[in-house]
Amino acid sequence: MKSHKTKADRNRSPAVTLKSVAERVGLTPSTVSAVLNNSSASHSVPEHTKKRILAAVRDLNYRPNFFARSLRVNRTYTIGVILEEIGDAYGSLVISGIERYLREQNFFFLTVAHRHDTKLLATYSAMLQDRGVEGFITVDTFLTEEPPLPTVAVAGHRRIKRVTNIVLDHHHAASLALKHLADLGHEKIAFMKGSTVSVDSAERWNAISEVAAKLGIRILPELIVQLEGDDPTPNLGYPFAKQLLARKQPFTALFAYNDISAIGSISAFQEAGLQIPDDVSVVGFDDIQSAAYINPPLTTVKQPLQKMGEIAARTLLDRIEGRTEYVPEIAIEPELVVRQSTASPGRRQVTMTGSFGRRFVRE
């Protein structure tokens, strides 16, 4: 049977192999391989010879066969990234930092989202191992037992063997936000506690409670709302801000659990006829990309999320390559980004008379 080659087949250049490069420079494939992999054997190769090899690689546009290399050295140069949601504002910034560092190191990564389903988390972890990943990075994920591979947890708080936790200094973060509001003159501050599915929730609330006590700020039970669910949109905060207003308890500022809930809260407040920050100041947490572009731009406690992703990737690769010893925790410092959603309170405190009405109570 006669074969029929397409025009694309006829025009396709033959693949450039390691042998092709070796023939170009008149050396053995093993010498060329040693130089390209910077192995110990390459130390005896003269510098001018290395330059000739690299020039030939560029001229021939040689690309090493990844799978062949993986089989040869019993490595996949791949890690698994496990997170709660793909595409949410928090995780996207962390992933961006991970990707940036891994790309520079010629590593790949596979990503799975577990949606806080413990069975799915176990299944995905096993699937990643079956695909040969050399370690894990988890993001906003509860870990309950020692993982089978080196692991770095972004926003991890549980001390587990083999896991390095990348953690924000939540006491410092709470101090930055609460001192800012106190210095502006706010006394009646409302709070949004994080959903129980978020790994930072308990740690952050404990820090807020301790810092508020030190600063002499009273946390009133009637001015606390508990977020529920894992909605990655501003709807996370919107209904709970309305719930807060419906209690008709006066407050001049809100410290939201994160930026997404703060943005939803601002929408709920504005629907009710309130002006931000004239009637209510709002502080968020994270400094996601949209925080600077809402109306008004959001004052927030900045987590350097991209940097945290880069640190996680570098830490994991250093452990995989044996360049560093295991450490249980790496602390990250926050900073306060002051924008237009906070200001000094006026002489009035807001209470609600209905879903879209308001009245002011003189202090």
- What single-letter amino acid sits at 354? G
Who's near 265: CB < 8 A, 6+ residues apart? 192, 237, 238, 240, 241, 254, 256, 282
User: pLDDT digit string (tens) for 101-116?
Assistant: 999 888 999 999 887 7
**Torsion, CA 80, CA 85, CA 88, CA 91, rounded to 10:** -30
Please say if the pLDDT value at position 349 is more than 60. Answer: no
Average pLDDT of the residues in 161-184? 95
Which of 325-348 are b and which e, b meaning 16 or more Cβ less than 10 Å from the residue's Cβ? eeeeeeebebebbebebbbebeeb
Inter-residue contact 83 to 95 (CB < 8 Å): yes
Q: Which residues pair with 255 in a beta bridge?
A: 191, 283
Per DSSP bridges, beta strands 281-286 and 224-226 are: unpaired
User: pLDDT digit string (tens) for 91-148?
Assistant: 899 999 999 999 988 899 999 988 778 888 889 888 998 888 999 999 988 888 888 8
| pTM, two decimal places | 0.75
pLDDT, position 6? 52
Inter-residue contact 169 to 184 (CB < 8 Å): no
CA 337 to mean position of chain CA atoms: 18
Average pLDDT of the residues in 299-308? 95
User: pLDDT digit string (tens) for 279-298?
Assistant: 999 999 999 999 999 999 99
Q: Which residues pair with 81 in a beta bridge?
A: 111, 137
Please say if the pLDDT value at position 195 is more than 50. Answer: yes
pLDDT, position 143? 86
**Torsion, CA 240, CA 263, CA 111, CA 148, rounded to 10:** -50
The chain-wide mean pLDDT, for the chain, equals 86
pLDDT, position 213? 96
Angle at which helices 47-60 and 18-25 cross, to 10°: 130
For the ranges 6-15, 92-101, 194-203, 287-296, the lowest mean pLDDT is seen at: 6-15
The CB-based long-range contact list for 286-292 (8 Å cut-off, 24+ gap) reads 286/89, 286/90, 286/258, 286/259, 286/260, 287/259, 287/337, 288/89, 288/90, 288/93, 288/259, 288/260, 289/89, 289/93, 290/89, 290/259, 290/263, 291/259, 291/262, 291/263, 291/337, 291/339, 292/339
pLDDT, position 347? 46
In this structure, what token pair is assigned to residue 170? Answer: 């939540």
User: pLDDT digit string (tens) for 25-50?
Assistant: 999 988 888 887 776 777 889 999 99
In the chain, what are the domains?
7-73 (1.10.260.40), 78-168+306-332 (3.40.50.2300), 170-303+337-362 (3.40.50.2300)
Inter-residue contact 93 to 306 (CB < 8 Å): yes
Pairwise CA distance, residues 285 & 208, whole Å: 12
Pairwise CA distance, residues 86 & 6, whole Å: 40
Is residue 241 helix, strand or coil?
helix
Is residue 146 helix, strand or coil?
coil
